[in-house]
Amino acid sequence: MSRQASPDPIQNASPNEVRALLDTTRPGELTLLDVRLKPEYEEFHLPGARLLPLPELPDHFDDLDRDRPVVVYCRSGGRSAAAAKLLAGAGFPRVVNMLGGAMAWQGAAAVGAPDAGMTLLRGDEAPGVILRTALAMEAALGGFYQALAKEAPDAEARAVFERLAGVEERHLHYVHTLYRKATGDDTELARLLDGGATALEGGLPGERFLEQLGGAPESAREALELAASVEAQALDLYLRLAKKAAAPESAALYATLGQEEKAHLRAVSNLMKQLA
């Protein structure tokens, strides 16, 4: 009797295929590994990626969930191919290797060290603290967009920033609803925001995002590129916090917030496609 060959646990995927996988997977349902070195990760990385340099990978197999798919990438594909073989050899049943690496990635990316943005949130806070901080960051981002709308050099860019500010206003009320359900506190939104954080979503100041863009946006497309950077940073922060959270309810809350930012990122991407 012939023995049927076992399926290959390694799947090679293009960046577009990886993006589709990430878009259709809820936070926490897969592991995204960046096997480059720390300086490369800090320059830019896929939102939610865990930094685990290739030389250190064999020492951390037990830290990874074998029941979840593992998506691995590097700079151009060489190190990730080696990492995929190591993971498959260690018994991981589904490993996705992103061909072309980070250099081929065309989507929004996050920046900073693995603890970037964790000055306001660490991952061990109660749901009420998490949501009040999220409210403050949402409000700060809405104000940031409103200020940029006033300074926009043309009507099209101004309209984009006004639209983005409106989106953040609606999301602010959504997060406030989550806060009331989680805490039973009916305090008015304005009072909750009094003296709140000035950092934008993602835990970074607005100036940092403008530096990434090379200055204030001068067109509608640059306005959307800025928005994509902010949403990617927010998604990255919430996904990292979800992995770090010890309490299941806090991890689930961070995952919910991350799912919202993922939806915002898709919406911004669709708007950019309409301008193309």
State pLDDT tens for residues 199-227. Answer: 888 888 888 888 888 888 989 999 999 99
One domain for residues 98 and 134: no
HSE-CB for 226 with a 13 A CA cutoff: 29
Q: Is the pLDDT of residue 2 over 50?
A: no
What is the structure's pLDDT at 115?
A: 87
One domain for residues 135 and 246: yes
Range of the domain at 41: 10-104
One domain for residues 152 and 197: yes
What is the structure's pLDDT at 3?
A: 45
Q: Give the global pTM.
A: 0.88
Is 74 among the residues known to form the active site? yes
What is the structure's pLDDT at 4?
A: 47
Last-in-domain residue among 70, 89, 104: 104
Q: What is the mean pLDDT of the chain?
A: 91
3-state DSSP assignment of residue 7: coil
Q: Is the pLDDT of residue 71 over 60?
A: yes
Compute CA distances 3 → 6, 27, 164, whole Å: 9, 37, 58
Say if CB 74 and CB 15 are below 8 A apart.
no
What is the separation of C-alpha 259 from the centre of its chain, rounded to a whole number of angstroms? 9
Residues 123-158: pLDDT tens digits?
888 999 999 999 999 999 999 999 999 999 889 999
Sign for the CA dihedral angle at 96, 101, 106, 108 comes to positive
Among residues of the chain, what percentage have pLDDT more than 90?
A: 72
One domain for residues 210 and 179: yes
One domain for residues 247 and 138: yes
One domain for residues 194 and 254: yes
Last-in-domain residue among 104, 139, 170: 104
| CATH code of the domain covering residue 257 | 1.20.1260.10
In a domain, 202, yes or no: yes
One domain for residues 158 and 268: yes
Last-in-domain residue among 53, 70, 104: 104
Q: Smallest Cα–Cα separation from 234: which of 193, 204, 197?
A: 204
One domain for residues 170 and 268: yes
What is the structure's pLDDT at 196?
A: 65
Compute CA distances 65 → 52, 106, 157, 249, 263, whole Å: 14, 28, 44, 19, 25
Q: Which of 74, 87, 164, 192 is catalytic?
A: 74
In whole angstroms, give the CA distance from residue 81 to residue 86. Answer: 9
Q: Is the pLDDT of residue 276 over 80?
A: no
One domain for residues 168 and 256: yes
Kindly indicate the confidence band of residue 1, based on its pLDDT and cuts at 50, 70 and 90: very low
In a domain, 17, yes or no: yes
| CATH code of the domain covering residue 55 | 3.40.250.10
State the total domains in the chain. 2
Among residues of the chain, what percentage have pLDDT more than 70?
A: 96
